[in-house]
Amino acid sequence: MRDIIIEKLKEIEEKENVRIIAAIESGSRAWGFESPNSDYDVRFIYVRTLEDYLKLEKTKDVIEWQLDDVLDINGWDLKKALQLMHDSNPSIFEWCASPIIYRDSESFKELKALRQEYYSRKKNLYHYWHMANNNNQAYLQGEEVRIKKYFYVIRPLLAAKWVVDKKTHPQCFFLRY
């Protein structure tokens, strides 16, 4: 599957006229609780050409490429990723910590190096607590609950515990051990 994902990333670069500086796995596979029917949640960060950034009209800052039973591929413009990091958005921190990397670059390494400057324990704790609560309401209230749905509540609770105990953003690999 990795080769197919790498080819999809090249296709995105060609058709969207962007350069992908990072591509990672962000879903259950990154967290270590994938099931046999789990899709691949590929997330990427890209940069456009200088001409695109100099246009007066607003340029799209998200590319949603593919969503089906096997692949869920989408990405953010570098500017959006930086804004989200500035706001201490947990998603960008998770992307930077993913143990499954499909595309890496020096630019991505620089982005990862910025994480600690913008990390807010309070915002991350709030995010994970609310994610657990919302997932509990959405997935665990029925008569029959698939086992994987419990992980949708357990993972953010463990992430919140990591934030409290370690005083840093959670690492995707903590569920792998």
> In this predicted model, what pLDDT tens digit does every residue of 35-56 receive, in sequence order?
888 899 999 999 999 999 999 9
Distances from the Cα of 147 to the Cαs of 29, 33, 167, in angstroms? Answer: 16, 10, 30
pLDDT tens for 110-144 read 999 998 899 999 999 999 999 999 999 999 988 89
CB of 146 within 8 A of CB of 28? no
Average pLDDT over residues 58-86: 95
Summarize pLDDT for 1-45 with one digit per residue, the tens: 999 999 999 999 999 999 999 999 998 898 888 888 889 999 999
Mark whether 98 and 152 lie in a shared domain: no
| Whether residues 58 and 106 fall in one domain | yes
Domain boundary among 95, 116, 137: 116
Tally of domains within the chain = 2
- Minimal CA–CA distance to 74: which of 100, 36, 37, 46? 46
Name the amino acid, one letter, at 51: E
Domain ranges, residue 69: 2-116
Whether 22 and 71 share a structural domain: yes
CA 90 – CA 88 distance, rounded (Å)? 6
